[in-house]
Amino acid sequence: MEHEGIVISISPDAYKVLIESRSACATCHAKTLCSAFEMERKEIIVKRTAEESESFKVGQRVIVELEESLGLRAAWIVYAPPIVILVAILLYLQHLKLSEGVVGLLAIAGIVIYYLILYIFKARIGRRFYFTIRSAVKDN
């Protein structure tokens, strides 16, 4: 998955790129998984690497890429466990003959706890997901 953007700032360890969604996103086969690019404008942080062959300048047009397998992994982490948690809690608590309201609230609480755990470990999880950057203009 790749999108064109503009470098808006540079720090010693990262580039900040402004992505502007285009109508091409509507035809992308991965559009349902690509939350980073669903908005009209999105700032993406692209970490600089030691093996980078190019250096970029503020205002330069670039291509930001995320490997498709990483996008699918992110979708899996965000959607699959909450569904399993929801169903498990619902089935277990209904078996205990609790009221439907209590069961529903506890099931939602279980999902909230899952997302809080994701939030707490977002830096650790984020290390597995990385964007790459390359110039949008090809040299001839």
Interval 62-76: pLDDT, tens: 888 877 677 788 888
Q: Does residue 4 surpass a pLDDT of 70?
A: yes
Residue 60 in domain: yes
Number of domains in the chain: 1
**pLDDT of amino acid 111:** 95
**Better pLDDT: 54 or 107:** 107
CA distances from 122 to 42, 51, 74, 98, 127 (A): 19, 25, 12, 34, 9
- Residue of 81, 66, 86 whose CA lies nearest to 17: 66
Predicted TM-score (pTM) of the model is: 0.59
Q: Any idea what DSSP says for residue 139?
A: P
**Calpha distance 13→19 (Å, rounded):** 19
β partners of residue 9: 16
Q: What residues make up the domain containing 48? A: 2-135
Is 140 part of a structural domain of the chain?
no
